[in-house]
Structure 1
Amino acid sequence: MARERATALLVDFDGVLRRWDPAVAADVERRYGLSEGVLGEIAMSWGLLQPVLTGQVSHAEWVAGVADALTPSAGSPERARAAVEEWQRYRGEVDQDVLGFIREVRAAGVRVGLGTNATDLLDADLAALGLTDELDVIVNSSVVGVHKPAKEYFQAACEALETPPARVLFTDDEDRAVRGARAAGLSAHRWSGHSDLRYLRAALAY
């Protein structure tokens, strides 16, 4: 039996709508005498990351935790804090092709939600990147209290979109999130780049 065509779109933020230039972190690491990749390795360690993605701690508290963990590598708490703060000033860049697609589908009457594992800094990031009015719904894990790929996260996203799971199309650059969305009843596509926009257009009912 064929699936119903999707009438709402749920888009991941980091890796889809927002891009990060790895040269920024690499430059900070080089200037502070840190090993390559250490900032991301510490920041993304699950013990530090999971609490901030579920709203148990604030973005500022997470940053402080990263700096504490970096101190042995940086040589002093002051250098660690300075390196992390400098790294965190960069808030990424909007993928203009993806934004153009979002504008296109919204203009056609398709509701679009941002489905992201994020911190309490998300609203400020969206404002700084000029995205506040570009989406119908923001589904932030730190507000929902549960993160992708949990079924409860996708249930909350569908409720926010006011659309049943079978009519929601989700795209994300992480396999775990895609599998989680499918398990929750959504259509889901693994994002690999701009060539996927043709597929997403075809999968939406507009």
Structure 2
Amino acid sequence: MPRERAQALLIDLDGVLRRWDPAPMIAVEVAHGLKPAALLETSMTWDIYRPAMAGEISDAEWMDLVAQRLPIDIEEARAAVAEWQAYRGEPDPEVLAFVREVRAGGRKVGLATNATDRLRGDLDTLGLAGEVDEVISSWEIKAHKPAPEFFEKACELIGFPPSVVLFVDDDDRAVRGARSAGLSAYRWSGTQHLPYLRKALDLPA
């Protein structure tokens, strides 16, 4: 039996709506005597990344844990982390145009992201705060993708049952988690997917 047409879109932030240029981040690492991607790799260490995304510790506490693990003097490490965090990425203009198109077509859009307590400030900085109908932040709801509780709450906040919600993310685990929770889910790898997503949302070509 075919699925119903999607009535709402949940879209990931990092890697989909927000893109990152690695150059300024690597420049900070090199300037402080760290290997390229050292800060990113350290920040993604599961035992400190998970509590930051699950709303158990603040962004500032997470970043201090990162600094403590770097193989340089702690004061220099904290300076490196602060400089590294100053760059907040930028919206992908094609994806942002798509989000606007979805909303103009009468579909609700929710930003569904693993995030810290910095998220709201980032959205203001990036000019994205008013571009979606709902912001579903793992830090705020105390559940992170790919947990079923995340998707249950996301559908509740966007106001539609999972069967008519389309979820887009660049992370396989999140996509699989969404499908297990009953949503249609699509793994993002670039703007070549936009025509398919328009069709899935029954938008004009």
Normalised by the length of structure 1, the TM-score is 0.97
Write the deviation string for residues 96-142 of structure 1: whole angstroms up to 9, x where unpaired.
10000000110111000000000000000000000111000000000
Q: How does 1:11-160 map to 2 (within 5 A)?
A: 11-70=11-70, 73-74=71-72, 76-160=73-157
| Amino acid aligned to 1:6 | A
CA distance in 2, matches of 1:149, 1:56: 17
Note the aligned Cα RMSD (angstroms). 0.7
CA distance in 2, matches of 1:62, 1:30: 22
Structure 1 residue 204, shift from structure 2 partner: 0.4
| Amino acid aligned to 1:23 | A
User: Structure 1: 5+ residue runs without aligned partners?
Assistant: none
CA distance in 2, matches of 1:68, 1:85: 13
User: Structure 2: 5+ residue runs without aligned partners?
Assistant: none
Aligned residues, how many? 203
> What's the % identity of the aligned pairs?
57
Write the deviation string for residues 20-46 of structure 1: whole angstroms up to 9, x where unpaired.
111122111111111122111100001
Structure 1 residue 205, shift from structure 2 partner: 3.0
1:176 is paired with a residue whose SS is helix
Structure 1 residue 11, shift from structure 2 partner: 0.2
1:195 is paired with a residue whose SS is helix
The list of structure 1 runs, each at least 4 consecutive aligned residues, that deviate by more than 4 angstroms after superposition, is none
CA distance in 1, matches of 2:202, 2:160: 13
Structure 1 residue 148, shift from structure 2 partner: 0.3
